[in-house]
Amino acid sequence: MTKSADPSCPLYKGMRTFTVWSRLSGSFARTRHRWIRNRSRPVPLSFDNICAMNFHYQRYPLEAFLDDAAELGLTQVEIWGAAPHFYVGDRTLSDARELRNQIRTRNLKIACFTPEQCVYPINLASPQEKLRNRSVRYFEQCLEMCAEMASPALLVTPGSGYANEPAALAWDRCVNSLGTISKRAEELGITLYLECLPPAWSNVATTARDLARLLAVVGSPAIRSMMDTSAAVLSEESVSDYATELKSGFAHMHMTDADVAGSHLAWGDGMLDLDLYLAELQTIGYQGALSLELTNSRYYLDPKPALKQSVEKLSAAIGRLA
């Protein structure tokens, strides 16, 4: 007959304590393992990553765009700053605060402010000093607007030099201009999203590798890189290429369908593999905005269907990631 252990026995108490501690230690180890495992998993993309942009609403009031974005259930917008919507040359800081209120009353937030800088005479690398200096002042004014409209970021492009001059000269001018702008961005706590441009538009930065080098040379913590799917078609780059070149990742994305010419199209109107793009983005842990920069003129007179189509296709594709 087996004798029962005496609870008052010191040996019994020690064995009991060891058993309890072993169980607790094992439980803690399993919990820690699950925490590490979950922490290493990329945070999944969701509907909230989808972001609308007002470029193709330029024949309508800005309020119409904001209304449609809210009606589609979106939570964030990227504001293209150009006439007739929000060209900073015609606006005041008070107007920026009013825009902030209009966005907030619709339960939206700004992901980025993108002032027009390709069609307008803005060029950070221009060989013309007067134009270059005015461009720097333009972006500094845009930073002030960002602070008032509650935009956490301002999109900038590198500009270009003449095609018949050494690209290194344009590079140096761009570096100096970005250095000036980034100092003000640091003071205001605004992030600069630096976007490369196709070769027809720039001889400074046209690829992810160019962006990485430019960020390293300027060396400002305020500057982050971004990706544009349509521009990537022209440079023949993928999400993986950007992730490889930009070791710190990229913070923003113009996420549109495209054709071989690099047109910014509504999803379903071009040739890109949406599921592949989203799978690659999720793999690298991207959590920024998926901004719908639709620039093709086919959408100008009736902009909402293109936005709705893109939102629905993005939402469905995100759902397929699960």
Greatest CA separation for the chain? 103
Instruction: Quote the pLDDT of residue 249.
Output: 86
Residue 319 clears pLDDT 80, i.e. is over it? yes
Average pLDDT, the chain: 90
What's the mean pLDDT in 27-32?
40
Instruction: Quote the pLDDT of residue 6.
Output: 53
CB-hemisphere CA count at 13 Å for 234?
17
The CATH code belonging to domain 49-319 is: 3.20.20.150
Instruction: Quote the pLDDT of residue 310.
Output: 98
Instruction: Quote the pLDDT of residue 215.
Output: 97
Residue 126 clears pLDDT 50, i.e. is over it? yes
CA distances from 294 to 43, 58, 265, 307 (A): 27, 11, 6, 8
Q: What's the whole-model pTM score? A: 0.87
CA distances from 192 to 30, 127, 135, 246, 315 (A): 42, 23, 15, 15, 27
Instruction: Quote the pLDDT of residue 31.
Output: 37
Residue 76 to residue 66: CA distance in whole angstroms: 10
**pLDDT for 288-318, tens place per residue?**
999 999 999 999 999 999 999 999 999 999 9
Instruction: Quote the pLDDT of residue 43.
Output: 77
Instruction: Quote the pLDDT of residue 41.
Output: 61
Instruction: Name the amino acid, one letter, at 45.
Output: L
Instruction: Quote the pLDDT of residue 179.
Output: 98
More confident: 42 or 148: 148
Residue 25 clears pLDDT 50, i.e. is over it? no
pLDDT band at 8 (very low <50, low <70, confident <90, very high): low
Instruction: Quote the pLDDT of residue 16.
Output: 47
pLDDT band at 322 (very low <50, low <70, confident <90, very high): confident
Residue 14 clears pLDDT 50, i.e. is over it? no
Instruction: Name the amino acid, one letter, at 199.
Output: P
Instruction: Quote the pLDDT of residue 23.
Output: 45
Whether the CB-CB separation of 125 and 173 falls below 8 Å is answered with yes
* Burial zone of 69 (CB within 10 Å; 0-12 exposed, 13-18 middle, 19+ buried): buried
Between the two ends of the chain, the Cα-to-Cα distance in Å is: 59
